[in-house]
Amino acid sequence: MVKKRSLTGLIFFVLFLFPQLISFAQTNDSILVVGGTGRIGSEIVKALEQRGKNVRVFARTSSDRKRLQGLDISYVIGNVLTENDVAHTFEQQKYDAVISSLAKVGQEPNPHAVGGQHLTKWAKKNGVKHFILISSLGAGPNPVHTKYKEILQAKGVAEAALTSSGIDYTIIRTGIILYGEEPATGKAQLILDQNVLGTITRKDLAQLTAECVLNNQCINQIYNAVDCSLRCQAQ
């Protein structure tokens, strides 16, 4: 755990007021979730559907949809590494927001850099109002954690493409994600301090992400998603 003096420098934000939450719940915004069948993406889709959003999931033909069974959502089939697939998706329909929670699975090619660039390019052409990117703490051209150098560099490329695109964006970086079926604690927060390594559940990360969609307070911010009730430490 972070010592009290280390926590002094943290800037915590109360992002969501009750009137805003009510307002969001009553809207029917059209949202494209990329990576929505994955362990994180599926929780984001569930959180959005609970809020009454019109959710469409971009997925490959080989994607396992069992995590999304029973949800009132639609799918568009494609691969983010194939630009024509991405272009076709955005030419079919207008979207208010895009959420990218791409993940590298097994020995498959890393989708973050190329996929992120394709998504950003066509989201801009589509007129998307808000693009949320789920990324990782330390993403960038020169990551400190060399064990994850390739994936952090690729995520850094995706971040750079998004922040330079002119689209209103939110980047949510994560440290340690609990990938089991742990329940949400309700204590996770988005902070600006990038020097804190924190733990977070998938369900809490999904709730924070859903609450940020088209939320003016989240626009053009780079956050670190942490739950210090589980674990936080200064890097």
The DSSP line for the chain is: ---HHHHTT--B-----HHHHHHHHT---EEEEETTTSHHHHHHHHHHHHTT-EEEEEE-TT---GGGTT---EEEE--TTSHHHHHHHHHH---SEEEE-----TTSPP-HHHHHHHHHHHHHHHT-SEEEEEEETT-SSS-S-GGGHHHHHHHHHHHHHHHTSSS-EEEEEESEEE-S-PPP-S--EEES-TTEEEEEEHHHHHHHHHHHTT-GGGTTEEEEEE-TTT-EEE-
The residue with greater pLDDT, 12 or 105, is 105
Q: Domain containing 220 — which CATH number?
A: 3.40.50.720
Percent pLDDT > 90 in the chain is 79
pLDDT for residue 17 is more than 60 = no
pLDDT of residue 4: 37
What's the domain range around 52? 4-234
pTM of model > 0.85: yes
pLDDT per residue over 136-161, tens digit each?
999 999 988 778 899 999 999 999 99
Number of domains in the chain: 1
pLDDT for residue 83 is more than 70 = yes
pLDDT for residue 5 is more than 80 = no
